[in-house]
A and B are shown apart, each in its own frame.
Chain A
Amino acid sequence: MLRHLRVVPHLVGIHVRTYMEYRGALFISWIAQAIGYAGVYASIALVLARFENLGGWSWPQMALLLAFHLLAYALGASLSFVQFRDMEEKVRLGTFDAILVKPIGTWTYLAFSGLNIEYGGHIVLAIGLMAWALASLPLDWSAPLALYFLAAIISAAMLTAALMTIIGATALIWVRSRHLFSIYFGFWELARYPLNIFPLPLQIMMITFAPLGFLAFIPTAVVLDKPVPILGDLAGPASLAIGPVFVLIAMLHWRYCLRNYQGAGG
């Protein structure tokens, strides 16, 4: 295990050096992605400027929700999205077989050898928006609340990486799984808004089958001391537990898919 972990910084270093060969392109892609998100956030801000609130959430509160959503997603996706989106290509072309024979855990190799630093633009925008929102909101900060906030971000990032892993791993047995990301991003879009504005069946789905309610809404509502539908007082502990629980589920699914992988070409 330790032997594997010692390789990780080298894998990341090699990948980062590759990006830095084209640092102009990397910098432009950071700016471009930040502008891409800022356009959507500006539209949401305009809605709130005209309608004052959305399901009881003001613009600074919504800004915190959006920033949390973007930061947790970016942290989790940097370890997983592109790597596992391309799984079906690896399976179809047979290049996944070459990864299987490497003397390192397959997931570890995939996640860290492809660590995506292109999410830098997401992270800078998210932290900037979060800093503005936190400064604008009259929050009564305490050590437990600050710790909860940090732990909730990590848990939500773990949830993102776990879901991406589950979807990507499915390609090992189905050959194709990229289409499942369309479903993921459908719910991911919903997770930008307060859960209480959606009909009850959708709220239940966002907490169970597609638990992206935990990506941003639930932890943000806990920090802002707002009511969380269905979960109530369990929202805080549940939002901390969801990441590790889904990591375990993803590990089981990953191992099951690896055991049943038969290749698809080459």
Chain B
Amino acid sequence: MKLGAYPAFTATAFQARLAYRNQVWSSVFGELVATFAFIAVWTAAFADRGSVDGVSLPEMVTYVLIAGPLLQWNTTPFIREVGDAIRTGNVTAYLLKPLHYPGLLLFNQLGNNAFEQVTITLPVAIVVALSVGLLPPASFAHGALFLAYWAVSWSMLFLIATVVSLLAFWVLTAFALDWFLRGIMAVASGAIMPFWFMPAPLATILGNLPFAWVSYYPSAVYLGKLDIPAAFLHLALGLAWLAALGGFLAWLWSRASRRLVVQGG
């Protein structure tokens, strides 16, 4: 199947989500409540302190929005959908078609995420900006670099989620895999607690794992917590992790597609 045909999956995924409008307003409400919860947590933590470790409360408010709703999309439906396709044997329908299954997942998820960014994250960002205030990027260069980091973040989370979901070929349950990933991401992505507030040894370990490129590094670059040379260096490291994970995914998929045994039908 030609690469040019895959964007059709993106458009279809986007249009399919339009059919469930009730989910949009309830998701916006749920995301708003959760975002304001984290803003309240940081407001309470900072209390009367102007800044902690060189980080101010407005910076943390901006961090909450970028590291959470903007960058860390919900991998649960994605992992469970792949897990269900493997458990029920429906994945064979994709194997019969002239397409690359991980490629289909990639373009499908792009459509889903584009929909969520437009209908959920954007309204939440507008409400937060108008009510609490959001900071602009630290500089034009940081803003431009953030766009590159955003692409790395999305790709990293997609690759991590796809690798995790394909493990269901061996363990036959995506449910537990999803929960394991949630636990790891809560700490290791920096979405809840930025690494600059963590004990140095822990921050050093987590800062070298691929999860850090999902939330922590892009948010830190946006806020100017990494100078430009350091931002370029970490972008290169992130790309290296992407290449490694991409290679691992290709190897995993080649093994998974060969070992598939469908029981029933």
Contact = CB atoms under 8 A, between A and B. Distances in A.
Dominant secondary structure of chain A at its interface with chain B: helix
B186 interface: yes
A178 B26 CA distance: 10
B117 interface: no
B45 A47 contact: yes
Contact of B43 (A31, A33, A183, A197): A197
B193 A186 contact: no
A190 B33 CA distance: 8
Given A47-B193, A178-B23, A186-B32, 13 more contacts: A32-B179, A35-B180, A36-B183, A39-B182, A43-B193, A46-B202, A54-B41, A55-B44, A182-B30, A183-B26, A187-B33, A193-B41, A199-B40
A217 to B, nearest CB: 12
Given A32-B180, A182-B30, A198 B186 contact: no
A186 B178 CA distance: 20
B193 A29 contact: no
9 contacts: A35-B184, A39-B185, A178-B23, A179-B25, A182-B26, A186-B30, A186-B33, A186-B34, A197-B40
A132 B118 CA distance: 44
Contacts of B22: 176, 179
Interface of B: 20, 22-23, 25-27, 29-34, 36-37, 40-41, 43-46, 52, 171-173, 175-180, 182-187, 192-193, 197-199, 202
Interface residues of A, number: 39
A166 B241 CA distance: 46
Contacts of A44: 192
Interface in A47-85: 47, 49-51, 54-55
A91 to B, nearest CB: 14
A39 B177 CA distance: 14
B30 A185 contact: yes
Contact of B186 (A29, A40, A49): A40
